[in-house]
Amino acid sequence: MLSSVALVRKPGPDFIDALSGHPQKTRIDFKLALEQHSSYVRALQQAGARVVTLEPLQGFPDSVFIEDTAVIFGDKALLCSMKAESRRGEVESVAGEVGNHRKIIDLQPPVTLDGGDVLMTDDAVYVGQSTRTNKEAVQALADHSEKPCTPVPVLRGLHLKSAVSFLGNGILVIDPTSVETSSFKKFEWIKVDESERYAANCLTLGDFVLLPAGFSRVADKIRSHGFQVIELEMSEFEKADGGVTCLSLIIRE
C-alpha cells in the first residue's frame, strides 16, 4: 500500500463564520467541531496516513478545509488561485509545508480554482466547473498534468467532489443529479439517492474509505467492493458546506 502524508488544519474559533449556504450554518457547535476533527485525524492515522497538523489560521474561518488550497500532480503542487476573496490568504499559509514535499507552482488569475473541484482517477483528471472553478483552470491543470483533463459542469453543490468520489478500481460514489454525468459512463457507480447526497463525498486511502456516518446503505455497498469503511460524524462540517475530503490535503509518498 502506498503511504501518504495528510495535511490537516485545526478549526479555529472563527470557524463558526465559515462561508456556507447550509440552512443550519448559524448553529455550528465549535466544541463539537473540534471533537469531530480529532476523530477525523485518528481515522486518517488508522488508514495509514502520516498526519501533519497545522495550527488554526486566525481570520480565515474556512481554512480547516485545506484540500481547496492546492492540487498535487506527481512531483508538483499547484497552489490554487481561489475565487472567494476571504480565502485567498489560506494558500500562502500552506505553501511552506507543501513545499517540503513537492515543487511549488503558483496558479494565477484569470484562473480560479478550488482543490475540491479536482477529481483524480487512474487515467484522467476531472475538473468541476462550479461557482469556484472556471474554464481557465482546466487548461492550467492540463498544462501540468500527464493525464487528460476533462471539464465537468457542477449542477448543484459547492464542488465536483461534493457529488463524486473515486474509490479506485474504476468505482465512483456519485450523486448523478448534481453533476453532468456523461464523462463518467465508463465507471461503475455506487449511486446515492437524494437523502444520501452528503455521502457522495468520501475519501479513499488504500483499503480504507472514510465516509460520513449515517449512510448504512452506501457503506454496505462500499464494503461489498472489499473496502474497510470508517464512518465519521461530520455534522458541524456539513453545516459549513464541507465534507470528508475537504479536511485534508493528501500527498502520496
Average pLDDT, the chain: 97
Residue-wise pLDDT tens digits, 95-135 = 999 999 999 999 999 999 999 999 999 999 999 999 999 99
Which pairs with CB-CB distance under 8 Å and at least 24 residues apart come from 105-108?
105/76, 105/77, 105/78, 105/79, 105/144, 106/79, 106/81, 107/78, 107/79, 107/80, 107/81, 107/137, 107/140, 108/81
Mean pLDDT of 206-227: 98
Q: Is the pLDDT of residue 2 over 80?
A: no
Residue pLDDT, tens place only, 44-57: 999 999 999 999 99
Rounded to whole angstroms, the Cα distance separating 115 from 8 reads 14
pLDDT at 253: 82
How far apart are alpha carbons 174 and 165 in whole angstroms? 7
pLDDT given for residue 3 in this prediction: 84
Give me the mean pLDDT over the 176-205 stretch.
98
Strands, E, within 22-176: which ranges?
49-54, 70-73, 76-79, 103-106, 118-120, 125-129, 149-153, 164-168, 171-174
The residue assigned the cell 472567494 is 84
Q: How far apart are CA 126 and CA 113, in angstroms?
A: 13
- Residue among 37, 80, 149, 159 flagged as catalytic: 159
Any idea what the CATH number is for the domain that residue 16 is in?
A: 3.75.10.10
With DSSP H G I counted as helix, E B as strand and the rest as coil, what are the percentages for the chain, rounded to 5? 35, 25, 40
Print the domain residue range for 218: 4-252
Instruction: Tell me the pLDDT band of 12, cut-offs 50, 70 and 90.
Output: very high
pLDDT tens-digit series, residues 131-164: 999 999 999 999 999 999 999 999 999 999 999 9
* In the predicted structure, residue 71 carries a pLDDT above the cut 90: yes
Q: Is 80 a catalytic residue?
A: no
Q: What's this model's pTM, rounded to 2 decimal places?
A: 0.97
pLDDT category, 1, cuts 50, 70, 90? low
User: Total structural domains in the chain?
Assistant: 1
Q: What is the pLDDT of residue 167?
A: 98
